[in-house]
Structure 1
Amino acid sequence: MTWLRALMEVARSGLTIERTRLEPLIALRAAAGLAIVIGLSLWLSSPASAASAAFGAFSAGAATFQRSWRPRKVLALAAGAGLALSTFLGYIAAAHLVAFLLLLAAWAFFAGVAWAAGPTAGIVATTTVGIMLVTVTLPSSIGQAWEHAAVIAFGGVVQATLILLVPIRRWGAHRDALADALAAVADYARRLRHDSTARFDPEPMMTARDAAAVTPLQARRRPAALHGPRGLAERIRPVLASLADPAVGAPAEGPERDRARELLAAAAEVLDAAARSIRRGAPAEVPALAIEALRAGAGNEDEVLKGPARAAAARLVDLLGEVVETTECGDTRAAYAPAPGKPGASTLLRPTMLRMVPAVLRSMRRELVPDSPVLRHAVRLAVVASLGYLLGTVLPLGHGYWVPITSVMVLRPDFHQTYARAVARFVGTLIGVGLATGVVQLVGPGPYLSGGLAVCSAALLYLLMHTGYAVSQAFVAAYVVFLLDMGGEGWHQTVPDRVLLTLLGGALAMLAYMIFPAWETPRLLDRIADWLAASGRYAAAVVAAYADPADRHRAEVRRALLASRAAEAAWDEAFDRARREPVKHRGLSRAAAEDAREALKSLGRAAMLLEAHLPAQGARPVPGAERFAEALRADITQAAREVRRRQTPSWDRIEEALATWKSAGDSPAPVVRRGADLVLRALKELTTAIDTSPLEREVASVRQDRQVRADREEGAQGGQDGASAQPPRKAI
Structure 2
Amino acid sequence: MSWFRALKDTTRSGLTVERKRLEPLIALRGTAGLAVVIAISLSLFGPAVAAGSAFGGFQAAIATFQRSWRPRPELALASGASLGVSTFLGYLTGSHLFLFLPLLGLWTFLAGLSWAAGPTIGIIASSNVAMMLVTITLPTTVAEAAGHAAMMVFGGLVQAALVILFPVRRWGAHRDALADALAAEADYARRLRHDPVAEFDPAPLMLARSAAALTPRQARTRPAQLHGTRGVAERIRPVLASLADPAVGVPAEGPERDRARELLAAAGSILDAAARAIRHGTPVTIPPGAIAAFRTPDNGTILSGPAQRAADRLGPLLRDVVETAGGTLPEEAAALPPAAALRRRLTRPRRPRAGPAARPPDLAPLTAAAPAAPPYRDPGRPLRRPTLFELVPAAVRAIRREARPGSPVLRHATRVCAVAVAGYLIGGALPLGHGYWAPMSAVMVMRPDFSQTYSRAVARFGGTLVGVALATGVVQLAHPGTELSAALAVLCAGLMYLLMRTGQLASQACVAAYVVFLLGMGGETWSQTVPERLVLTLAGGLLATLSYALYPAWETPRLRTRLADWLGALGEYAAVVVDHYAHPAGKAGPEVRAALLKARDAHIAWQDAIDRAGTEPVRHRGLSNAAADDAAHALHHLGRVAMLMEAHLPERDATPVPAAAALADALRTATRDGARALRERRVPRWGPVRAALEAWDGEGVPDRVVRRGAGMLLEALEALSDALDTDVPPMTVKPAHETDGPREP
| SS of corresponding position for 1:692 | coil
Cα 1:397–1:668, aligned 2, differ >3 Å: closer, same or farther? farther
CA contact (8 A) 1:465 1:471 kept: yes
CA contact (8 A) 1:244 1:260 kept: yes
CA contact (8 A) 1:429 1:499 kept: yes
Distance in 2, matches of 1:575 and 1:668, equals 42
Distance in 2, matches of 1:397 and 1:174, equals 48
Distance in 1, matches of 2:198 and 2:288, equals 27
1:437 aligned residue: 472
Cα 1:671–1:552, aligned 2, differ >3 Å: closer, same or farther? closer
Deviation at 1:325, TM superposition (A): 2.0
Distance in 1, matches of 2:483 and 2:727, equals 68
2:108 aligned residue: 108
1:505 maps onto 2:540 in alignment: yes
CA contact (8 A) 1:80 1:156 kept: yes
- Counting only pairs closer than 5 Å after superposition, residues 50-65 of structure 1 correspond to structure 2 as 50-65=50-65
Deviation at 1:668, TM superposition (A): 4.0
CA contact (8 A) 2:681 2:728 kept: no
Distance in 1, matches of 2:315 and 2:404, equals 51
In the TM superposition, what whole-angstrom CA distance separates every residue of 1:581-610 from its partner, at most 9, and x where no partner exists?
110123111111111111111111111111
Distance in 2, matches of 1:390 and 1:513, equals 19
Deviation at 1:553, TM superposition (A): 7.1
Deviation at 1:645, TM superposition (A): 1.1
Distance in 1, matches of 2:245 and 2:624, equals 31
- Counting only pairs closer than 5 Å after superposition, residues 274-673 of structure 1 correspond to structure 2 as 274-297=274-297, 301-302=300-301, 304-329=302-327, 345-550=380-585, 554-665=589-700, 667-673=701-707
Cα 1:330–1:87, aligned 2, differ >3 Å: closer, same or farther? farther
Alignment TM-score, normalising by the size of structure 1 = 0.92
CA contact (8 A) 1:596 1:689 kept: yes
Distance in 2, matches of 1:255 and 1:619, equals 30
Deviates more, 1:114-123 or 1:637-646: 637-646
CA contact (8 A) 1:30 1:462 kept: yes
Alignment-mate amino acid for residue 26 of structure 1? I
Alignment-mate amino acid for residue 123 of structure 2? I
- Counting only pairs closer than 5 Å after superposition, residues 203-282 of structure 1 correspond to structure 2 as 203-282=203-282
Alignment-mate amino acid for residue 490 of structure 2? V
Distance in 2, matches of 1:333 and 1:411, equals 50
Distance in 1, matches of 2:399 and 2:142, equals 33
Distance in 2, matches of 1:334 and 1:307, equals 35
Alignment TM-score, normalising by the size of structure 2 = 0.90
1:700 aligned residue: none
1:684 maps onto 2:718 in alignment: yes
Deviates more, 1:426-435 or 1:550-559: 550-559
1:178 aligned residue: 178
What RMSD in Å do the two structures reach over aligned CA positions? 1.7
CA contact (8 A) 1:661 1:668 kept: no
Distance in 2, matches of 1:544 and 1:463, equals 53
| SS of corresponding position for 2:294 | helix
1:93 maps onto 2:127 in alignment: no
| SS of corresponding position for 1:297 | helix
In the TM superposition, what whole-angstrom CA distance separates every residue of 1:314-364 from its partner, at most 9, and x where no partner exists?
11112112222222218999659xxxxxx9644101111111211211110
In the TM superposition, what whole-angstrom CA distance separates every residue of 1:602-648 from its partner, at most 9, and x where no partner exists?
11111111111111233222231111111101111111111111122
CA contact (8 A) 1:542 1:607 kept: yes
CA contact (8 A) 1:457 1:479 kept: yes
CA contact (8 A) 2:670 2:689 kept: yes
List alignment gaps of at least 5 residues for structure 1: 337-342, 696-732
Cα 1:583–1:351, aligned 2, differ >3 Å: closer, same or farther? same
Alignment-mate amino acid for residue 48 of structure 1? A
2:67 aligned residue: 67
Alignment-mate amino acid for residue 638 of structure 1? D
Distance in 1, matches of 2:140 and 2:328, equals 57
In the TM superposition, what whole-angstrom CA distance separates every residue of 1:144-180 from its partner, at most 9, and x where no partner exists?
1100100011100000000111111221111111011
Distance in 1, matches of 2:2 and 2:289, equals 54
Deviation at 1:390, TM superposition (A): 0.4
Deviates more, 1:610-619 or 1:492-501: 610-619
In the TM superposition, what whole-angstrom CA distance separates every residue of 1:496-548 from its partner, at most 9, and x where no partner exists?
11011111100010001111100111111100110001111111111111111
Alignment-mate amino acid for residue 329 of structure 1? G
In the TM superposition, what whole-angstrom CA distance separates every residue of 1:77-116 from its partner, at most 9, and x where no partner exists?
0000110010001001111101100000000000000000
Alignment-mate amino acid for residue 396 of structure 1? P
Deviation at 1:141, TM superposition (A): 1.0
Distance in 2, matches of 1:135 and 1:326, equals 50
2:735 aligned residue: none
Distance in 2, matches of 1:324 and 1:335, equals 14
Deviation at 1:552, TM superposition (A): 9.0
| SS of corresponding position for 2:65 | coil
CA contact (8 A) 1:662 1:668 kept: no
Percent identical among aligned pairs is 62
2:124 aligned residue: 124
Distance in 1, matches of 2:723 and 2:424, equals 49
1:45 aligned residue: 45
CA contact (8 A) 2:578 2:660 kept: yes
CA contact (8 A) 2:627 2:723 kept: yes
CA contact (8 A) 1:221 1:333 kept: no
In the TM superposition, what whole-angstrom CA distance separates every residue of 1:396-446 from its partner, at most 9, and x where no partner exists?
011111100011111111111111111111000000010011001100111
Alignment-mate amino acid for residue 192 of structure 1? L
Q: Which has the higher contact order (CA 8 A, sep 6+)?
A: 2
Distance in 2, matches of 1:305 and 1:487, equals 77
In the TM superposition, what whole-angstrom CA distance separates every residue of 1:464-522 from its partner, at most 9, and x where no partner exists?
11110111100000110110111110000001110111111000100011111001111
In the TM superposition, what whole-angstrom CA distance separates every residue of 1:216-257 from its partner, at most 9, and x where no partner exists?
111110011101111111100011011111011010000000
CA contact (8 A) 2:277 2:325 kept: yes
| SS of corresponding position for 1:353 | coil
Distance in 2, matches of 1:499 and 1:263, equals 61
Alignment-mate amino acid for residue 673 of structure 1? R
Deviation at 1:693, TM superposition (A): 3.6
Alignment-mate amino acid for residue 654 of structure 1? V
Distance in 1, matches of 2:328 and 2:208, equals 18
Alignment-mate amino acid for residue 508 of structure 1? L
2:358 aligned residue: none
Name the count of aligned residue pairs.
686
